[in-house]
Amino acid sequence: MLVHWEGVPMSLVGSDPDLSVLGLPESLDEVDAAGLGEVVVQARRAGALMEWHRLRAMAEVFERLVAPFMDSDQRVYDAHARAANEIAMMVGRSQAGVETELMDAAHLFAGLPHVAQCLHDGVIGGGHIRTVIARTALVGGQEYAPLVDQELADALRRQGSWSLQRLRDVCDRIVFRHDPAAVRERRKAAEEGRRVWAENATDGMAILHASMTAENVRVAAARIDALASSVCESDPRRDGARRSDAVFALLSGELFECQCDRGDDCDATVPAPAMVQATEAQVIIHVITEAATLEEPEPEPEAAEAAVAESDSVDKSGPEPTTKRAYSPRHSGVGFMDGYGVISGDYVRELAQRTGAVIRALRS
């Protein structure tokens, strides 16, 4: 069990670190304008290095206190919860959040060591590494994991900026090349986990969240915009406020009205929420894919039977074989949704079957 940080002198906890060790100046008073940019770059690298050390320590906690009980279905959960609880009390975070981070850190250093080194070297930051971990969660334990790790690390070290969208797309493309089934499984899990939840904000406000498929978000957003934009130019609300009121009207069925003070001179034509038709809320989603992806993939019984036969032939007394997924060489395809990124072939076919979908051949 971890040891609480009780009895640590407050002077030690609150003491300022030696910034020179990280290559940072103690004061910015003597730094000129050009030097400030260098300080920003070095501080970013230092932050990435500190994040690497933090996650490395989390991975070590998992390795020492949780991994030894992995063969016991009951004790592994006890060990995991106990370790997370100790760290959560130290850093003032929820136990559930720390439990997830312990697993993420273990996945990073055990399955993606080259990517972890990119964090250590300041190539990427903490926000990037969380995206990488999330997009490669199903890679752990697979025989192709070292290839994904190396290819992703090579991509990260190429010159250029990394937005989270671009990073997600690169991760998906690399994983898909090695295991199309992983992308399909993640898509299925994400769709099954869609939900609606609310949280309180400050000053009497609250926030309503909803997760759904990307195309449904586009449709919902278009209806919201169509209703919100039906007011006249004298409506005093900001765009965000009008869209918020439009969401409530669409969900509750209450009347959405223009709030200008022009009276009978108001020229707004505001439809009832239930009457916001598709013609008023047109949605265009561009998806690029190969023609073969639109065809339903052939069933894969032969691949599954081969995997079962292989597992039966393995010497049960020897070490446990590397986890493998069974899928045929002819995978189900892949697509790219504009404004979103890489999507699986199953998702492409779902979009193609929606009412009103238009399929055109692109010629160079």
Domain boundaries, the chain: 32-192, 212-275, 287-352
pTM for the model:
0.64
- Of the pLDDT bands very low, low, confident and very high (cuts 50, 70, 90), residue 345 is confident
**Range 251-279 average pLDDT:** 83
Q: Are 258 and 302 in contact (CB under 8 A)?
A: no
- pLDDT at residue 64 tops 50: yes
- The dihedral built from the CA positions of residue 84, 89, 95 and 98, taken in this order, carries a sign that is negative
* pLDDT per residue as tens digits for the range 201-247: 999 999 999 999 888 888 888 889 989 999 999 999 999 999 999 99
- pLDDT at residue 293 tops 70: yes
3-class secondary-structure state, position 341: strand
- Exposed e or buried b for every residue in 241-266, given b needs 16+ CB within 10 A? ebbbbbbebbeeeeebebbbeeeeeb
Between the ranges 137-141, 299-303, 338-342, where is the mean pLDDT highest? 137-141
* pLDDT per residue as tens digits for the range 150-193: 999 999 998 677 888 888 888 888 888 888 777 777 778 888 99
